[in-house]
Amino acid sequence: MERFIDAAPGVRLWTEDRGATDTSPLLLIMGAQAPGLGWPDGLVDMLTPHHRVIRYDHRDTGRSTWAFDRRPYPLGQLAEDALAVLDGLDVERAHVVGMSLGGMLAQLLIADHPDRLLSATLIGTSALSTVPYIHPDGTRIPPEELPGIAPRLLEMWSRPVVDLGLEAELERRVEHWRILGGDQLPFDAEYARSLERKAVEHTGHYTTSTAHGRADASDLNRTEQLARASVPTLVTSAPAEPVFPPPHPQHLAQAIQGARIIEIPGMGHALPPEVHTPLVAAILDHTTGR
């Protein structure tokens, strides 16, 4: 079922609610600039037999309100939007699964609203914490000295996005996914293109939003709150991750009290079909014990 939820005056969020209503809710939080359809249908279909699965468009993505230039907001507001989705669907508590920026927003929920979460799964993200990473050999590494984003990706992000028509934009996005996917799994360009074409059709245009990259991110540090977290948390580690490569996941698992970590073989910063089965198995083991 699709519906719009009012998150704030003048801000409506598109949501999709799938699966049996008598199962526990699971909220999928996508990354920056990505609509809810960034969670592929195949992956969602594997979750719906076990959960009431909710995905939604962040503001300034998909069918939700695009208004950053008129009403800018801090990046943390997107975590409050996630709560607005739960409130609008009459969900008191939910499992949350966050990817990339979505994983950061999930950390804000762990820190600020633990009473609303049944569990959290964090994918392809970094810790909102200043504690050092402790290497197995005992070396303490400050977060700012952990490995950075792959140069190929930084170079692509540095290029201005020029409107050369829909097909050219789809090709640009496919190449973006090629880099994000890493180098350990085969890349299916047609699969990536079909996902992006569906996202464009869902949105109604192919404009690329830059709102989340421009939003104020100065108030995201949750070091102390994460260190005493009470929400059961799973961190996934992706060996081919080009945005937050290992040991970012290991650092994240150390920063959140009680968190455990699992590796998804071959995974990068993307959700191709090859990772759906192991990723869903990890999520369901965490949320249901299956």
pLDDT band at residue 289 under the 50/70/90 scheme: confident
Give the CATH number, domain containing residue 93.
3.40.50.1820
In a domain, 38, yes or no: yes
> Does 224 have pLDDT greater than 80?
yes
In a domain, 153, yes or no: no
Q: What is the pLDDT of residue 15?
A: 98
In a domain, 202, yes or no: no
Which residues, 6+ apart, have CB-to-CB distance to 10 below 8 Å?
65, 67, 71
User: 3-state DSSP call for residue 7?
Assistant: strand
Name the residue among 2, 33, 28 with its Cα closest to residue 206.
Answer: 33
> Does 266 have pLDDT greater than 90?
yes
Task: Give residue-wise pLDDT tens across range 106-117.
Answer: 999 999 999 999
Tokens of 142: 């400050």
User: 3-state DSSP call for residue 119?
Assistant: strand
Q: Cα separation of 142 and 140, whole Å? A: 7
Q: Cα separation of 98 and 25, whole Å? A: 14
Q: Determine the structural domain holding residue 134 and report its residue range.
A: 2-148+210-287
Q: What is the pTM of this model?
A: 0.97
Q: In what helix (H) or strand (E) does residue 107 lie, and over which residues does it extend?
A: helix 101-112
Q: What is the pLDDT of residue 10?
A: 94
In a domain, 160, yes or no: no
Half-sphere exposure of 161 (CA within 13 A, CB side): 15
Percentage with pLDDT > 70 across the chain: 100
Which residues, 6+ apart, have CB-to-CB distance to 272 below 8 Å?
181, 185, 187, 188, 191
Q: What is the pLDDT of residue 290?
A: 61
Q: Cα separation of 244 and 237, whole Å? A: 9
Q: Cα separation of 21 and 38, whole Å? A: 23
In a domain, 27, yes or no: yes
Q: Cα separation of 170 and 200, whole Å? A: 9
User: 3-state DSSP call for residue 252?
Assistant: helix
In a domain, 26, yes or no: yes
> Does 80 have pLDDT greater than 70?
yes
Query: Are 272 and 188 a contacting pair, CB within 8 Å?
Result: yes
In a domain, 166, yes or no: no
If one compares 50 and 289, the residue with the highest pLDDT of the two is: 50
How many residues comprise the chain?
290
Task: Give residue-wise pLDDT tens across range 118-166.
Answer: 999 999 999 999 999 999 999 999 999 999 999 999 999 999 889 999 9
Q: Is the peptide bond before 247 cis (omega within 30 degrees of 0)?
A: yes
pLDDT band at residue 21 under the 50/70/90 scheme: confident
Q: What is the pLDDT of residue 216?
A: 97
Domain count, the chain: 1
Percentage with pLDDT > 90 across the chain: 97
Task: Say what angle helices 151-158 and 166-180 make with each other, to 10 degrees.
Answer: 160
Name the residue among 109, 141, 140, 148 with its Cα closest to residue 27.
Answer: 109
> Does 65 have pLDDT greater than 70?
yes
In a domain, 195, yes or no: no
Arithmetic mean of pLDDT, 75-89? 98
